Amino acid sequence: MHDWLGDHSSYDAVLPWLDGQAFTYVFADLRGYGQSIELGGEFTVEEIAADCLMLADELGWRRFHLIGHSMTGMITQRIAADVPSRVASAIAVCPVSAAGNRLSPEALAFFVSTIEDDDALRRLFQFVTGGLSEGWADRKVQQSRATVAPACRRQYLEMLVTADFVEDVQGLETPYLIVIGDKDPGLDAAAMRRTFLAWHPNAELHVVPNCGHYPMQECPPYFATVIEGFLKRGAS
């Protein structure tokens, strides 16, 4: 599952490095994104989780692993809480947790501005990746504008900043890998220790060096190695 600012194509760079013999990967587009860009809805945690479970049912997957990036880190928790027997393991990448992301009024105003302001969005991409090039940021802006419906951005942002279902996930025994970049300023190791690592007894943290908020794009072969090392340990 993808982040707030892009669709399934955020994972394109990592595709050549994934082991298709060991695993079948499905990259979902949430309502309002990518191939689901025309789909409306409530744009809530519960709706996303229900849609993903419906997709798993359609695929005939009784048991599966989950990967969620940023906004959808919390969705891995919601699904694991809802159907713990079906989730073999979960990987949360630079994730927002079940506690949501409580932003200051100033930070929230900036995030809202990125919905329509390309320059603000460009600055956000550079900030969360530790200052990657203008070319990188320009490409990310183009991708985001082309793959995310404007109508859903504000509602998903509302979901991000108001979500709170911590009580439902505390103590979940689902094996968890938390992957973060050492240059991601807002979602660092301390934040993970307060959330995922505090709540999930079988969670482990991996910090990717010289990397920001998009490890699947910033260092794809390394990212593939990290996630598949974890998946292969727990494949069942």
State which residues form the domain around 104.
8-234
Q: What pLDDT, on a 0 to 100 scale, did the predictor assign at position 74?
A: 98
Cβ 222 vs Cβ 215: under 8 Å: yes
Q: Is residue 208 part of a domain?
A: yes
d(CA 88, CA 86): 6
* pLDDT tens, residue order, the chain (236 aa): 999 999 999 999 999 999 999 999 999 999 999 999 999 999 999 999 999 999 999 999 999 999 999 999 999 999 999 999 999 999 999 999 999 999 999 999 999 999 999 999 999 999 999 999 999 999 999 999 999 998 899 999 999 999 999 999 999 999 999 999 999 998 999 999 999 999 999 999 999 999 999 999 999 999 999 999 999 987 65
Q: What pLDDT, on a 0 to 100 scale, did the predictor assign at position 233?
A: 87
Give the rounded distance of the alpha carbon of 181 from its chain centre: 13
Closest CA to 119 of 129, 132, 108, 134: 134
Closest CA to 160 of 186, 197, 138: 186
Give the rounded distance of the alpha carbon of 219 from its chain centre: 16
> Around Cβ 18, how many Cβ atoms within 10 Å?
16
Q: What pLDDT, on a 0 to 100 scale, did the predictor assign at position 185?
A: 92
Q: Is residue 166 part of a domain?
A: yes
Q: Is residue 109 part of a domain?
A: yes
Q: Is residue 145 part of a domain?
A: yes
Residue spans of alpha helices (H) in the chain: 45-59, 73-82, 105-113, 118-128, 134-147, 150-162, 166-169, 189-194, 196-199, 215-218, 220-234
Q: Is residue 1 part of a domain?
A: no
d(CA 235, CA 116): 42
CA distances from 2 to 34, 107, 201 (A): 10, 22, 25
d(CA 128, CA 189): 15
Total of domains in the chain: 1
Burial 51-70 (b: 16+ CB within 10 A, else e): bbbeebeeeeeeebbbbbbb
Q: Is residue 3 part of a domain?
A: no
Q: What pLDDT, on a 0 to 100 scale, did the predictor assign at position 22?
A: 94
Q: What pLDDT, on a 0 to 100 scale, did the predictor assign at position 186?
A: 84
Tell me, what CATH number does 64's domain have?
Answer: 3.40.50.1820
pTM over 0.85: yes
Q: Is residue 147 part of a domain?
A: yes
Q: What pLDDT, on a 0 to 100 scale, did the predictor assign at position 236?
A: 52
Q: Is residue 2 part of a domain?
A: no
Cβ 103 vs Cβ 111: under 8 Å: yes
